[in-house]
Amino acid sequence: MNALVQMHGLTNRFYLSLGDWGGSLLALAIRFYVGWQFFKAGLTKIGNWDSTLFLFRDEYSVPLLSPEVAAVAGTLGELVFPLLLFVGLLSRPAALALFVVNLVAVISYPALFQFQCPAAINDHFTWGALLLVLLAFGPGRFSLDALIGRRLG
């Protein structure tokens, strides 16, 4: 029993020593990891715009938007919001916006649920969960949001 109490004390001290710095490093890693996934997708879309338009017309079923508007909006979202995450500026709104982009991507491509795409749907669930972590806990101290917050008092 004494060993268990000592182990608990050690883990508690380790956790407390990480504190805000450890959480900030984790938030930074999440911002870069998730942001890079979306940014790569945006670069792919602008790399072959004809193919992107084809996919939005014939494969994806984006609700409420024309395929052309959905293609432009999705591509802009995948290019702009990750940049905000990278520098940690307006991080929570950017994470929320990417969560919506992710949600629309899952809803708009029913093939993810129908056949041969379990890894893809798992990726979307992982990205969504990580974006919710950023929404809940913020970007951490290694962000422009934190710097601006410190400057404003």
In a domain, 73, yes or no: yes
C-alpha R_g of the chain: 19
Stronger pLDDT, 104 or 3, i.e. the higher one: 104
Helix (H/G/I), strand (E/B), else coil: 33: helix
In a domain, 148, yes or no: yes
In a domain, 34, yes or no: yes
Q: What is the mean pLDDT of residues 14-32?
A: 83
In sequence order, what are the residues at sequence separation of 6 or more whose Cβ sits closer than 8 angstroms to the Cβ of residue 109?
59, 60, 61
Confidence of residue 16 (pLDDT cuts 50, 70, 90): low
Please report, in angstroms and rounded to a whole number, the separation of the first and last CA atoms in the chain: 47
In a domain, 85, yes or no: yes
pLDDT in tens, 44-72: 999 999 999 999 999 888 888 899 999 99
Tell which residue, 86, 4, 88, 93, has the closest CA to residue 42.
86
In a domain, 6, yes or no: no
| pLDDT for residue 6 is more than 90 | no
In a domain, 112, yes or no: yes
The token pair that represents 54 in the structure block: 């084809």
| pLDDT for residue 31 is more than 80 | yes
Mean pLDDT in the chain? 89
What domain count does the chain have? 1
pLDDT in tens, 67-98: 999 999 999 999 999 999 999 999 999 999 99
Q: What is the mean pLDDT of residues 118-142?
A: 92
Confidence of residue 1 (pLDDT cuts 50, 70, 90): confident
Structural domain boundaries enclosing 56: 20-152
In a domain, 43, yes or no: yes
Q: What is the mean pLDDT of residues 3-23?
A: 71
In a domain, 53, yes or no: yes
